[in-house]
Amino acid sequence: MLLSASLAVLMTAGCGTPAADLSASDTVQTGEHSDGISKDEIKVGFVHFADPSDMGYTYNQEQGTKKMQETLGLRDDQIISKYNIPDTAECETALRELADDGCNIIFSTSMGHEDYVKEVAEEYPDIQFCHAHGNQAADSGLPNFHNYFASVYQGRYLSGIAAGLKTETNKLGYVASFAIPEVISGYTAFYLGAKSVNPDVTMDIIYMNEWNDPNLESQTTQALIDRGCDVISQQSDSTAPATTAEQNGVWQIGYNSDMTEAAPKASLFSVRVDWSVYEIEAVQDVINGEEIPTDWCEGIADDVVYLSPLNTAIAAEGTQEAIDSAAEQIKSGSLHVFEGPLKGVSPDGKEFEVAAGDYYPEQEEQSAASWQYVIDGCTVIE
């Protein structure tokens, strides 16, 4: 088995037998205990890359925040959100403004914000900082700096089952944002789910190098359709792939929001994350004066990752039953998405192999995705 340098340390226990058979929240260091704070006095801050009008990632994050606020009974003036903050020094400014506004806990939801979150967390040791997608908290030595994410790849695998049963051309398409582990992990899981019910299926992938650009998402979707792809999935923020698929008479699987309203004749369903589960836990920890896990990740078994309702008007017969069966196997641990034999190549040319009988323990040792290998059957279109 060949490991890239970035994974050599992470994977020293091997793929088939993870170093510890525990979730990330059970195995990592945690922040220091404090005296807590009254629920009526706590202030919660958020820094977002986009805004909820994207109807994608930030929209879904906002839904989690609303649910957290309702569950904990917080007032509107206890929630302060900063929108459309790019992955630049503007993030640092936004974080400091939230700190100076009296926030006791601050969430940053963009992968590119992490360096700024770490820097500001060091300057404000009495404030808890929670960063989505990142991987630096465990090694930072900062008890008030935390990473969190969800095992989205599990939902991707289940959505791939729907695609594999629906396709008529046996060719899937994927609108990808960036050539990074989170995205590669997602589309690989999607393809493996499709292949589990349709061994003849293949998939084309096009990187946009953008998270949210409706025009580019539409153009990318059209390019995949023109190549013969008849089921399109996405790791991008808008409903453009859904509407473009409908305009072309093909099908689509969305992300972050239920896109069936935007494209009822094309959208099968969407993979979603209930971010409120983590937010409620983290905010309640601050209220109680308890420790926040340094690294947190949950998936289907904890109802953090889920699928929006299946569009039965267009789904293939037996789709829901096949998804339900696979979901139960994932929950029980009898099905591991990245089971061998698997061979792949990373974007920088590193080869990787998972032997038969082994599996790659994606997000078991850290919340951030680490699978970064393009496997046979998947083709990246330049």
Q: Locate 317 and state its tokens.
A: 């017969």
| pLDDT of the residue at 15 | 31
| pLDDT of the residue at 26 | 34
Contact 203, 194 (CB under 8 A): yes
- Three-state DSSP string of the chain: CCCCHHHHCCCCCCCCCCCCCCCHHHHCCECCCCCCCCCCCCCEEEECCCCHHHCCHHHHHHHHHHHHHHHHCCCHHHEEEECCCCCCHHHHHHHHHHHHCCCCEEEECCHHHHHHHHHHHHHCCCCEEEEECCCCHHHHCCCCEEEEEECHHHHHHHHHHHHHHHCCCCEEEEEECCCCHHHHHHHHHHHHHHHHHCCCCEEEEEECCCCCCHHHHHHHHHHHHHCCCCEEEECCCCCHHHHHHHHCCCEEEEECCCCCCCCCCCEEEEEEECCHHHHHHHHHHHHHCCCCECEEEECHHHCCEEECCCCCCCCCCCHHHHHHHHHHHHHHCCCCCCECCEEEECCCCCEEEECCCCECCCCCCCCCCCCCCEECCEEECC
| pLDDT of the residue at 54 | 87
Cβ count within 10 A of residue 375: 20
Q: How far apart are the first and last CA of the chain?
A: 28
Phi, psi angle pair for 47, to nearest 5°: -120, 120
Closest CA to 253 of 198, 193, 210: 193
Q: Amino acid identity, residue 115?
A: D
Q: What is the homologous superfamily of the domain 152-273+305-380 according to CATH?
A: Response regulator (3.40.50.2300)
Packed helices 114-123 and 89-100: angle between N→C axes, nearest 10 degrees:
40
| pLDDT of the residue at 30 | 40
| pLDDT of the residue at 34 | 57
Domains 24-150+275-302 and 152-273+305-380 are alike in CATH topology = yes
| pLDDT of the residue at 4 | 34
Show me where the domains of the chain are located: 24-150+275-302, 152-273+305-380
Mean pLDDT by 10 residues, the chain (382 residues): 33 31 35 75 97 91 98 98 97 98 98 97 98 96 98 98 98 97 98 98 97 96 98 95 98 96 97 98 98 97 97 98 98 97 95 97 96 98 94
For residue 214, say if its preceding peptide bond is cis, omega within 30 degrees of 0: no
Kindly indicate whether the domain formed by 24-150+275-302 is annotated with CATH number 3.40.50.2300: yes
Contact 157, 191 (CB under 8 A): no
